[in-house]
């Protein structure tokens, strides 16, 4: 039913393929318009709108290693590195 289409990016002018699978996905979501930008320009546009996350340094309450976390650690709550956090999550399941 759908066939690949070559479109021109309105941002950079490059050609990009709007695949049959993408067209089917767009139709299933009820989207009526074809994409206007290539993948690279869409990604660049998304990243401009989203600011870089501020990361904080903390010491893991389990192993004592330094951990980077996307929230400001509080004195009354333990912080875990990703490895220890994953182990704790597995133990709970």
Q: What is the pLDDT along the chain (93 residues), one digit of tens a residue?
A: 799 999 999 999 999 999 999 999 999 999 999 999 999 999 888 877 667 789 999 999 999 999 999 999 998 999 999 999 999 888 887
The reported pLDDT for the residue numbered 51 is 73
Cα separation, 25 vs 35, in Å, equals: 12
pTM of the model: 0.51
Cα separation, 13 vs 9, in Å, equals: 5
Would you say the C-alpha torsion 33, 34, 37, 42 has a positive or negative sign? positive
The reported pLDDT for the residue numbered 37 is 96
Q: In sequence order, what are the residues at sequence separation of 6 or more whose Cβ sits closer than 8 angstroms to the Cβ of residue 10?
A: 36, 37
Domain boundaries, the chain: 5-49, 56-92
């Amino acid at each position: 039913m759908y066939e690949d289409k070559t479109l021109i990016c309105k941002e950079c002018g490059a050609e990009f393929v709007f695949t049959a699978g993408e067209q089917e996905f767009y139709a299933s979501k009820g989207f009526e318009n074809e994409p206007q930008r290539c993948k690279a320009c869409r990604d660049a546009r998304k990243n401009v709108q989203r600011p870089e996350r501020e990361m904080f340094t903390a010491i893991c309450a389990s192993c004592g290693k330094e951990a980077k976390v996307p929230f400001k650690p509080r004195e009354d709550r333990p912080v875990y590195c990703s490895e220890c956090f994953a182990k704790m999550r597995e133990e709970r399941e």
